[in-house]
Structure 1
């Protein structure tokens, strides 16, 4: 009977030979435009007993890594700064003695100096900063008693000082804190003090010694933007309002960097009625024009006017959406109200003098925990009415990334979209990264576990959204372990580096053909 069953399977073509199975498992060839991964460094670290923070320095083509190792049978963590060259070879390292009470918060850099900020677990408002000079191999530290600060939400360096966006202890106000690393002095900037839910962005430049802030102000129905320019010492230089005269409200925006003295553009998002959701983009040139010194009007671009914004939808749904809009326009009905949230990246200068704006479209994601109706009402009040559920925040889900090109006057030239998959993060921070290629094209990319997903952008031309390559292992020619591949990846990230390079990083479990598997923290150079 068994022989007849096998014969029947062979006849029907249902029994596949082992060689055919191996053929099916062959890796899909990479796309023709796939990036190279010429270098990889592995640190033998376990994610549960260590922490690693990566910061590329484009100015000198190096990568600085802050490594913290937990000590057995102790609550103390030992830190070290490591600096790697363009080939990811270890150039030098410097020990960092961090007091036991502090946890890592953020890193930033200017020129060749990296700043690591730590916050006290025991004393609210106490901060500790380490400044690492890679060229000299020196570390300077300072401690600050800010008293009122609760959370650092953004950090930038300017001429040896740190500008930190701070949420205060009352959890109702946001302000700016200036930390002088050389002297240990600190001050709250009285000119930056806003009631939540204000949104705040800022740019800083060491050459002009200026920091410029964009703050949103709202009365719950309509919102406007307040622009403030400060010196490197935190002194207010100028202040101006930007608002729309129509029913539109300005939500948030980005300024061109201060070092570009020939342009001063403001680009961001606007809403209709509800200041929580974006209806489209706006742009304006802040420089006065003509003999009267008047400023150009704001230009508004509804998402529907963009060529590629709705590419994340299926074609049939896109067509229905545009038909519905055309009918509303024909009847002179108010436009559709979109409910999109956008995270704006800093403006990226282009070789032609214009700027590129990238915005990640996201929404808060929740998971639902169901309660068993067999629980007693005392343990589960919802069981009084049968089974129930609770909603738990589960991070921010990104659907697509919008990329737009503007000229030096703030006119929209083109737009494109990168439709993403499996992109969720706990904090509202940038996840899709951008680099400019030598031929003028752009590449948008991010890490999805062991895969690098990317899209090449040539202005408004359509192109595939599904290009991907695996993060390569086994780049060490001295290791004879046979074929190997990554089976699990945690805390992965992709950061722009220099030229057309990114640096990919994260914890990884590597399966090998010969020998034991290994768990590492990896750094991969990714070159387009």
Structure 2
């Protein structure tokens, strides 16, 4: 799940008679044994300036659904369609979607083989349109909602045919949850979920247990705690409980184990010392009462310095200095160093051994500076009739990720191991997951992200050290590296997402230059198999 930060930093359809370029079987050059292969690729003749494509993998039936919008010629209108591709990335269904011109795409999610897309109105604040695509039947249903009070949709999940949307309200001071029934058109605000900014939300939803569980942060500016709320699929509150630390530690945010796991109920997240904006380490706890005593186990805290690999992103000399400095503080009984890290938590991933893996991307806001030099007309003292000159302007430039922390826990919440994927060139405008994870059949974890035309990856075997610099090129139609191979000059809006088994699907816009002939601009999808 994406972690929601409520600060305000925060068709193409295949045209009739014009099918997409067919998925192509690939013949790859020899590669290391651990390198992924790319057995299939599909290209759509689209440009980023005249289209929009949103990708939703469906592990349930091993297909991929695209929501594709294409600008109409000589018009400001867009035509949409759902396209469904099989595991060989061959087009299976192309279903047109009628969207009124006032709506823009906002979010997409899936449940089983149904994909939901949510659109927001440009002309009427609070007006939403939801589209549900049934991948089994190839049918689409749409429903419009007049929410009136909602301003921005920041997270979306589906449960039993209903959409749970976390929304920022018009007053820009509160966040709440909105329940949308796409089949009936009914909607309701969930009064049990109503929090002032700044609040962090995470939540999990499960059709088997018919429950949605929220984790909300609450703070008085100096200390923060967590509030857990469990709701039915109709949005009715089932239970709520507070989780807080008795020491000077504050709990920032956390993830819950999925509701369908009835034998474990774990909470894992980040904690701080004094300043609730920055994480000092991880915490974990078993929310179930101990048999015979009725009391719950205490929270376990893991300072980042206790982790084996957290500081792998630093150069060796700097890591050594940090360890020495900390050891001296411990010897003098001086309070621990205060870290200033921000972490984006992924949903907990169940493991074959019954435990869970927690992935957290470590990031910071990145800024660029614009400087303005003097120009004719400057007055004495460095001013002009229009004001001062030579000043700097700081402009937010996205969120920069330094590394992804990966930790394994047992079913009681005990930390078993940790590892780190050190990344480079990873910056995005929105605070959303960028490093993706799949569990391989042999128990290892594959982490991956796209950097221009490269797929960067790391294979993790618990706490074992392994290289952070593995990468393979995204393959085009003629393969990579061979004589006459195609060349990629530009890649944009790229992403890689977990699909099914040990597969990812990589996608984005590319400009591809063949050895002979003119270049082509395409939206691509590649199957990536570890």
Q: TM-score, normalization: structure 1?
A: 0.92
Task: Say if 1:115 and 1:130, in contact at 8 Å, map to a contact too.
Answer: yes
Matches within 5 A, 1:359-398: 359-374=360-375, 386-398=389-401
- Name the counterpart of 1:504: 506
SS at match of 1:150: strand
Task: Say if 2:383 and 2:389, in contact at 8 Å, map to a contact too.
Answer: no
Aligned partner (choices 469, 483, 490) of residue 492 of structure 2? 490
Question: How far off its partner does 1:382 sit?
Answer: 11
SS at match of 1:124: coil
Question: How far off its partner does 1:485 sit?
Answer: 2.2
Task: Say if 1:203 and 1:258, in contact at 8 Å, map to a contact too.
Answer: yes
Question: How far off its partner does 1:290 sit?
Answer: 2.5
Task: Say if 1:472 and 1:485, in contact at 8 Å, map to a contact too.
Answer: no
CA 1:124–1:310: 2 relative to 1, 3 Å: same
Question: How far off its partner does 1:380 sit?
Answer: 8.1
* Superposition CA RMSD, Å: 1.8
Q: Where in structure 1 are there 5+ consecutive unaligned residues?
A: 1-26
Task: Say if 1:166 and 1:174, in contact at 8 Å, map to a contact too.
Answer: yes
Question: How far off its partner does 1:375 sit?
Answer: 6.2
Question: How far off its partner does 1:366 sit?
Answer: 0.3
The CA distance in 1 between the partners of 2:434 and 2:294, in whole Å, is 40
Question: How far off its partner does 1:377 sit?
Answer: 7.2
The CA distance in 2 between the partners of 1:66 and 1:380, in whole Å, is 53
- Name the counterpart of 1:452: 455
- Name the counterpart of 1:111: 112
The CA distance in 1 between the partners of 2:471 and 2:291, in whole Å, is 50
The CA distance in 1 between the partners of 2:286 and 2:384, in whole Å, is 57
Q: Deviations along 1:407-461, whole A, 9 cap, x unmatched?
A: 0000000000000000000000000000011100001100000000000000000
Task: Say if 1:371 and 1:380, in contact at 8 Å, map to a contact too.
Answer: no
Matches within 5 A, 1:4-15: none
Matched, 1:430 2:433: yes
Matches within 5 A, 1:39-188: 39-188=40-189
Question: How far off its partner does 1:328 sit?
Answer: 0.5
Question: How far off its partner does 1:374 sit?
Answer: 1.9
Matched, 1:399 2:402: yes
The CA distance in 1 between the partners of 2:245 and 2:29, in whole Å, is 52
The CA distance in 2 between the partners of 1:286 and 1:380, in whole Å, is 63
- Name the counterpart of 1:209: 210
Q: Where in structure 2 are there 5+ consecutive unaligned residues?
A: 1-27
Task: Say if 1:376 and 1:383, in contact at 8 Å, map to a contact too.
Answer: no
Question: How far off its partner does 1:190 sit?
Answer: 0.3
- Name the counterpart of 2:246: 245
- Name the counterpart of 2:311: 310
Q: TM-score, normalization: structure 2?
A: 0.92
Matches within 5 A, 1:258-273: 258-273=259-274
Task: Say if 1:281 and 1:302, in contact at 8 Å, map to a contact too.
Answer: yes
CA 1:475–1:348: 2 relative to 1, 3 Å: farther
Matched, 1:351 2:352: yes
SS at match of 1:310: helix
Moved over 6 A (4+): 377-383
Question: How far off its partner does 1:47 sit?
Answer: 0.7
Task: Say if 1:205 and 1:257, in contact at 8 Å, map to a contact too.
Answer: yes
CA 1:514–1:181: 2 relative to 1, 3 Å: same
SS at match of 2:442: coil
CA 1:217–1:527: 2 relative to 1, 3 Å: same
Question: How far off its partner does 1:373 sit?
Answer: 1.9
Task: Say if 1:348 and 1:356, in contact at 8 Å, map to a contact too.
Answer: yes
Matched, 1:292 2:293: yes
Question: How far off its partner does 1:31 sit?
Answer: 3.6
- Name the counterpart of 1:9: none
Task: Say if 1:377 and 1:384, in contact at 8 Å, map to a contact too.
Answer: no
- Name the counterpart of 1:516: 518
The CA distance in 2 between the partners of 1:28 and 1:383, in whole Å, is 62
The CA distance in 2 between the partners of 1:173 and 1:250, in whole Å, is 20
In the alignment of these two chains, the number of paired residues is 498
Q: Deviations along 1:298-334, whole A, 9 cap, x unmatched?
A: 0000000000000000011001001100100111110
The CA distance in 2 between the partners of 1:463 and 1:288, in whole Å, is 39
Question: How far off its partner does 1:134 sit?
Answer: 1.0
Q: Deviations along 1:507-527, whole A, 9 cap, x unmatched?
A: 000010121110000000000
The CA distance in 1 between the partners of 2:378 and 2:287, in whole Å, is 61
Question: How far off its partner does 1:292 sit?
Answer: 2.4
Instruction: Point out the more displaced range, 426-435 or 72-81.
Output: 72-81
Task: Say if 1:44 and 1:519, in contact at 8 Å, map to a contact too.
Answer: yes
SS at match of 2:476: coil
Q: Which has the larger radius of gyration?
A: 1
Task: Say if 1:399 and 1:419, in contact at 8 Å, map to a contact too.
Answer: yes
The CA distance in 2 between the partners of 1:294 and 1:381, in whole Å, is 70
- Name the counterpart of 1:197: 198
Question: How far off its partner does 1:483 sit?
Answer: 2.4
Q: Deviations along 1:315-373, whole A, 9 cap, x unmatched?
A: 11001001100100111110000000000000000000000000000000000000122
Question: How far off its partner does 1:173 sit?
Answer: 0.5
